[in-house]
Structure 1
Amino acid sequence: MNLNKIILCGAILSSIILGAQTKEKVTSHVNPFIGTGAADGSPLSGNNFPGATVPFGMVQLSPDTRSTPDWSVACGYNYNDTTIAGFSHTHLSGTGVAELFDVMLMPFSGAIVKEAEGENAYQSKFSHKNETAKPGYYSVQLLDYQVKAELTATTRAGFHKYSFPKNKEAHIIIDLDHSMKKSDWNTRIIASQLSFPNNHTVEGYRIITGWAPMRKVYFHAEFSQPIIRNHVKDGGNSYDNARIVNGNAIRAILDFDVSKQQEVFVKVGISATSIENARLNVESEIPAWDFEKKVKEADAVWEKELGKIKIDGTDEQKQIFYTALYHTYIQPNTLSDVNGDYPSADFTVKKASKPYYSTFSLWDTYRAAHPLYTLIQPERSADFVNSMLAYYKVFGYLPIWQLWGQENYCMIGNHAIPVIADAVMKNLPGIDSNLAYEAIKNSAMREHPGSPFGIWEKFGYIPENLKSQSVSLTLEMAYDDWCVAELAKKLVKIEDYNHFTKRSQFYRNLYDKEIGFFRAKDDKGNWIGPFDPLKYGANGGYPFTEGNGWQYFWYVPQDVKGLIGLVGNDQLFTKKLDTFFTLEDKPEEVNDNASGFIGQYAHGNEPSHHIAYLYNYAGQPWKTQKYTADIMKKMYNTTSSGYSGNDDCGELSAWYIFSAMGFYPVNPANRMYVIGSPILKEAIIELQGGKTFKVTAKNVSDQNVYIQSAKLNGKTYTKTFIKQSDLDSGGTLEFVMGSKPNKKWGIRTEDRPAN
């Protein structure tokens, strides 16, 4: 090879290496501080945490800024706080209830203050200037102790790195009493244990009941340096150099000699089944003491999973989009150990051949998060469904709000039904369709707190004097019944199909045509008054759930054409939508979950999420384009107050992901997506079998939010929806955008979404 060729080859190789080094990483756009704390005047921010986790992991290792978290800081962390109480291994992302916070560690330096060993004794001030968060990694400087804390995680284990100052005593607290307020949900530690099998190891468990009943959490912690002393307290009892302590308020201070090595590493495995499995989890997932390697591995896992959707847009859009996608991947959570053991609903230990998942916030996530999982996490989505089916076989009906393997009965309806029906209708592999149908049918037929079947069949609606939240229940149960009917049709169960189709129309029985709203009746068929469509309900004692009559009027996703018929016609329907989005009147009391207002539309809570897309059904798609663009612009940003309400295990995030790409599942189980206003220049979705589906938006900008024309796979496209089959086949959906509505695009009857 001559010199010129050698130089040329070297230049090409250098270019390839440089390109690989400078390739933009998806994880670089994730900002875990988005949604972690409301700005002044904002009611809610997201309730997200910034700590270290991996996709759908058992461990979420994150700082808690309150010693006793409550609903206002349900994830444990508030960006506006100034102190850190410790780092616990389990958290919920975006929920309205505080729970988990298991096995909290807190490093500190200096003398132990004997008279102040309570839960607030060793909090430390911190500053965001000395705080970093990225996927799979978190660090902060604890200013009171000059200790740098760094955290990373695997699926079932947390990895801590604490850098202590020289010439100061070094200590680490292990707190098994840390939880949400003991007064909330009757939370209490039933039993706990700490043991010290050797001078490098602490292990134990706690059994705690609260929002989730009778949670068993086991742990095994290994330290890189020997523990030279331990000081254990259980309430008023104190023990020095204990070997084992049993109690129900246990905290321990561990002493270390850091005169030669200032860094102490801690590997903590957790398990819901046994100490032995907690030990196995950490041995399998963190076999060595290489902290940086685990940080890189966590980043690589996130890079792979987040890269399943590639987008082109502004830097701000990329940050919001990929942080939203990151948040959708935090829950559901793996609950099975590396050997397949998991805690069954009957409190026995069973074994699964594939991961068993929990944390199903179904009233929230059935709307957009689970449909998103079927697109970009189909194998995991099947595992989610199979986890629910395993739960059903033991518990007798499907989960409503399942946490740590147990039911807490939060919220109404049984929205595992649309999740499972959707997965089977989309032919996700590995799901027993007959078992799935048995589960959703029985869950829709058996009396339980989320679905009062007996009075449902008897009256054709839920009477408010027999069961509160009756209007919301009636509307939501009617939708669930439609989902059962659809799967019955697929499986050729005609009698069931007819029965559940009839029940799916029960929503009509609460429509008062005189006032034009759904409203409550008693068991005699009388309207219950007075009726105020602006008045809010919470979670009981009123006909509406976390919303009002205006917001719930639109909840008939299975029969939007039927709803239009109740109103009268397309013009009256769109006129009512116009009023909904412009009526600013509010009652004196607004439910805490109601936020992010555009008129009566409240983006901060789920009942409103599909409503902006309903204009498409009545021939005015440009208004859907206007309002979806407005919502994305006004309700999402890159600050700690980046969400307009609780993210609810990724549901607000999933709404943005779909809407930014230009479509949304109004009916989450009919295999159809209604088109809105794409705000990204390009989005490429990776599908099974190596296929991709690309969406492009030519001329898109903050002003150019209106669709001028569209093409699907090169052919002119005027429909205001796309089908699942369009996505499954792969291809390209091209939009041309402009600053003014094209009122001729998508308005024909045949261009409108079907029910």
Structure 2
Amino acid sequence: MKKRYVMLCTLATVLCLGAHAQNTEPASSDLTRYVNPFIGTGAIDASSLSGSNFPGATLPFGFVQLSPDTEDGPDNPASGYDYNDKTIVGFSHTHLSGTGVSDLFDVMLMPTTGKIQSVPGKAETPGSGYRSRFSHDQESAEVGYYQVKLLDYDINAELTATEHAGYHRYRFPKTDQAHIVIDLNHTLNKKRPYWSCKVIDAEIRQIDPYTVEGYRVLTGWAQLRKVYFYATFSEPIISSELFNGGSMYANEKIVNGTNVRAVLNFNTGNGKPVLVRVGLSEVSPSGAKANLEAEVGQKSFDQIRQEAKAKWQEQLSNITIEGTKEQKEIFYTGLYHAYTQPNNLADVNGDYMATDYTIKNAPDKTHYSTFSLWDTYRAAHPLYTLLKPKKDAAFIRSMIRQYETFGYLPIWQLWGEENYCMIGNHAIPVIVDAIFKGIQGIDVEKAYEAVKQSSVTSHPGSPFNLWDQYHYMPENKQSQSVSITLEMAYDDWCVAMLAKKLGKDEDYQYFLNRSGYYKNLFNKNTGFFQARDDKGNWLPDFNPLAYGGNGGNPFTEGNGWQYLWYVPQDVQGLIALEGGKAGFSAKLDTFFTLKDLPKEVNGNASGFIGQYAHGNEPSHHVTYLYDYVGQPWKTQYYVAKVLRELYNNSFSGYSGNEDCGQMSSWYIFSAMGFYPVNPASGKYEIGSPILSSATIRLDNGRVFKMTAKNVSEQNVYIQSVKLNGKSYNKPYILHSDIENGATLEFVMGAKPNKKWGQDLTGLD
């Protein structure tokens, strides 16, 4: 029996043409089948974090994200949908993907039957108001499509989308009491303590028995948003009730106010589904109508659904991988999340609202927003330079438009407006990285002007007057001082490198000098970066385990251990501060093994390996730092541990907020075997590939291919590497290597090969 088993295995190996050590999923040309929109939509329990993703329908980088909301006032998770909830309150057309803060949720629709109230009802009371129970057994999602059975009403709801429009198909039971609610008061939690959310004005207007339009103006995370919609119905509206707060107006054609809803009544006795097409615009009702007519017109629901799938297939198809089914689902869902934003706010004619609230026109018909730059500059934007360089150029043109009307580049831009969330000026490394990589479509001189001006203009979170006066941020003058000091030093290095490239020597020297200011907060007595006051005194009672949040503490969403490693522009300088390679590596060892935690940690802290917290961005590059001290096998061990333990293909697939593609981009890079420690350096440090192979068809027509022989759950250590067929002993590769077209071949094993990766030329 044993002999027969060996023979069968040998035959299988031959038939599989040398399959790798792990069980790979057979190749499929339909890459969308690996996207699972439910990944990251919930948490296992109260002790873990949701990825804060939504399962609804959207297009790559589209304006509309049509998805169910399970909360009346969405807050946490910020996507509005929690996989653990039991009821749905409605389907709104705009959402944020993976963020830690909620907003949008515009133009919510909800189909119902029977007697209806004018308010949503309480989450803990299924069926109250117009809320309905649902079951995951009668719910499904794929790219560009979502479906759910609303159990309280026996309605099957289906959603699909174009770039600027949502398309609903509601299959009602046969009844003369079918209703569709339009709720313009549905917003993020209006009682959230951080800022005031308020609907300033809203209107719903019935044009004819088949058409309704309206708008709302509101404040929230984005200080002022205007949302216009134009909706058409396949069946006639028999009657209606319009509401402003508690006031009801039967069969009126218009309602205005600050708490506006409409109940539109239908007779579905003919058994036909009710189709609702909803165009959106941030500019005008006519813009919403034009968007709808241009993108949907008279196309059927199924046509739009198939077009959405084809567009996602096109976006995903320039990279193909071999691995297990789970790995493919995590990888391609990660790409899906990375391509869910930034979002094109411009109407089909190119009109958009600028940061000065005037209407301008984008010649390329695109103006992007939703720039979660504190997160995405680390890996998501470097990924765009590799896989979507034309999109990255368009993103940068949009950022520069903010500079032209607002005075400086985005910090965290939402709905075309600056909300100043987080710290640093991280549009700078995004722009510098793209220019150094030679991405076309960027006005380099204008970009440098924007980068430089954004580095000398004080604004919330970046008081450059303090920076120039003290050469660090004093905590008694600027909260989050240590994190801001470290992050601004990195941004300054990026400005310096671009100045050097453009021959601006005086600027180069100035910003290079500022990039070294991080050293002024290093306390040699403790071996950590610490806060000082404006007199130069260290703040007392320093505890490197103590967490900060977003103010009132020297550290931003992290602690002294996690921010110790944030000097990506000068790792060798940090190594010197820690007493050399031996001290640096010993400190890293402690970082990954020290499990002590204070009584309270920041709410974003999760995915722990010692003090490493993969659930938030400050830790993301740290696993790769062993490469700099000649111990790449430790990088391989920890990268493999994160890849295999902190990602999965369930609804709880992320160890923290997915953050607009950053968490996914870490996986995508690392699964292929490399990651950018310094996102603007043009280098990718090598880790531990988890895939059998990955093939990238580059925009320049060349092909980059990575293979990993013998890769498996046990074989996480690199035995040898070849680049273009030649032995390769450096623990990094260059972006130019990839862009020129290359083959990168790993041989993996179960034990470290401590001789590999010892050529540190370029890292030392």
The TM-score, its normalising length taken from structure 2, stands at: 0.95
Aligned equivalents of 2:118, 2:389: Cα separation in 1: 54
**Match among 271, 283, 294 for residue 284 of structure 1:** 294
Classify 1:740/1:634 alpha carbon distance in 2 versus 1 (closer, same or farther; 3 Å): same
> Cα RMSD over matched residues?
1.3
Quote the residue 1:303 is aligned against: 313
Identity %: 61
Quote the residue 1:702 is aligned against: 713
Q: Please show how residues 165-184 of structure 1 align to structure 2 within 5 Å.
A: 165-167=173-175, 169-184=177-192
Classify 1:463/1:264 alpha carbon distance in 2 versus 1 (closer, same or farther; 3 Å): same
**Match among 579, 583, 596 for residue 572 of structure 1:** 583
Whether 1:47 and 2:52 are equivalent positions in the alignment is: yes
Quote the residue 2:372 is aligned against: 361
Whether 1:130 and 2:138 are equivalent positions in the alignment is: yes
SS in 2 for 1:76: coil
Aligned equivalents of 2:107, 2:693: Cα separation in 1: 43
Q: Please show how residues 370-385 of structure 1 align to structure 2 within 5 Å.
A: 370-385=381-396
Aligned equivalents of 1:491, 1:240: Cα separation in 2: 67
Quote the residue 2:20 is aligned against: none
Aligned equivalents of 2:65, 2:56: Cα separation in 1: 7
Aligned equivalents of 1:111, 1:469: Cα separation in 2: 53
Q: Please show how residues 601-640 of structure 1 align to structure 2 within 5 Å.
A: 601-640=612-651
Whether 1:61 and 2:71 are equivalent positions in the alignment is: no
SS in 2 for 1:422: helix
Quote the residue 1:7 is aligned against: none
Whether 1:558 and 2:569 are equivalent positions in the alignment is: yes
Deviation string 1:14-63 (CA, Å, 9 cap, x unpaired) is xxxxxxx9954100011110110101254202010000001000000000
Quote the residue 1:252 is aligned against: 262
Quote the residue 2:6 is aligned against: none
Aligned equivalents of 2:78, 2:117: Cα separation in 1: 30
Q: Contact (CA 8 Å) 1:674, 1:753: kept in 2 or not?
A: no
The one-letter amino acid of 1:251's match is R
Quote the residue 1:196 is aligned against: 206
Aligned equivalents of 2:196, 2:35: Cα separation in 1: 37
Whether 1:662 and 2:673 are equivalent positions in the alignment is: yes
Q: Please show how residues 251-650 of structure 1 align to structure 2 within 5 Å.
A: 251-354=261-364, 355-650=366-661
Aligned equivalents of 1:490, 1:230: Cα separation in 2: 64
Judge which range, 197-206 or 116-125, deviates more. 116-125
Aligned equivalents of 1:56, 1:351: Cα separation in 2: 19
The one-letter amino acid of 2:286's match is E
Q: Please show how residues 664-679 of structure 1 align to structure 2 within 5 Å.
A: 664-679=675-690
Deviation string 1:344-368 (CA, Å, 9 cap, x unpaired) is 0000100001111000000000000
SS in 2 for 1:204: strand
**Match among 687, 698, 704 for residue 693 of structure 1:** 704
The one-letter amino acid of 2:357's match is F
Aligned equivalents of 2:676, 2:73: Cα separation in 1: 38
Q: Contact (CA 8 Å) 2:338, 2:664: kept in 1 or not?
A: yes
Classify 1:389/1:114 alpha carbon distance in 2 versus 1 (closer, same or farther; 3 Å): closer
Deviation string 1:333-384 (CA, Å, 9 cap, x unpaired) is 0100000000100001000011110000000000000000111111110000
Aligned equivalents of 2:760, 2:377: Cα separation in 1: 28
The one-letter amino acid of 1:25's match is D
Q: Contact (CA 8 Å) 2:173, 2:271: kept in 1 or not?
A: no
Aligned equivalents of 2:276, 2:455: Cα separation in 1: 47
Deviation at 1:450, TM superposition (A): 2.5
SS in 1 for 2:711: coil
SS in 1 for 2:700: helix
Aligned equivalents of 1:221, 1:604: Cα separation in 2: 40
SS in 1 for 2:455: helix
Aligned equivalents of 1:748, 1:370: Cα separation in 2: 28
Aligned equivalents of 1:22, 1:687: Cα separation in 2: 20
Structure 2: gaps of 5 or more residues: 1-25
Q: Contact (CA 8 Å) 1:400, 1:450: kept in 2 or not?
A: no
Classify 1:743/1:22 alpha carbon distance in 2 versus 1 (closer, same or farther; 3 Å): closer
Quote the residue 1:156 is aligned against: 164
Aligned equivalents of 1:408, 1:612: Cα separation in 2: 31
Aligned equivalents of 2:121, 2:565: Cα separation in 1: 54
Classify 1:627/1:22 alpha carbon distance in 2 versus 1 (closer, same or farther; 3 Å): closer
The one-letter amino acid of 1:737's match is M
Quote the residue 2:9 is aligned against: none
Judge which range, 96-105 or 289-298, deviates more. 289-298
The TM-score, its normalising length taken from structure 1, stands at: 0.96
Q: Contact (CA 8 Å) 1:42, 1:641: kept in 2 or not?
A: no
Q: Contact (CA 8 Å) 2:547, 2:600: kept in 1 or not?
A: yes
Whether 1:106 and 2:113 are equivalent positions in the alignment is: no
Aligned equivalents of 1:686, 1:510: Cα separation in 2: 44
SS in 2 for 1:360: coil
How many residue pairs get aligned? The number is 732
Deviation at 1:77, TM superposition (A): 0.2
Deviation at 1:112, TM superposition (A): 2.9
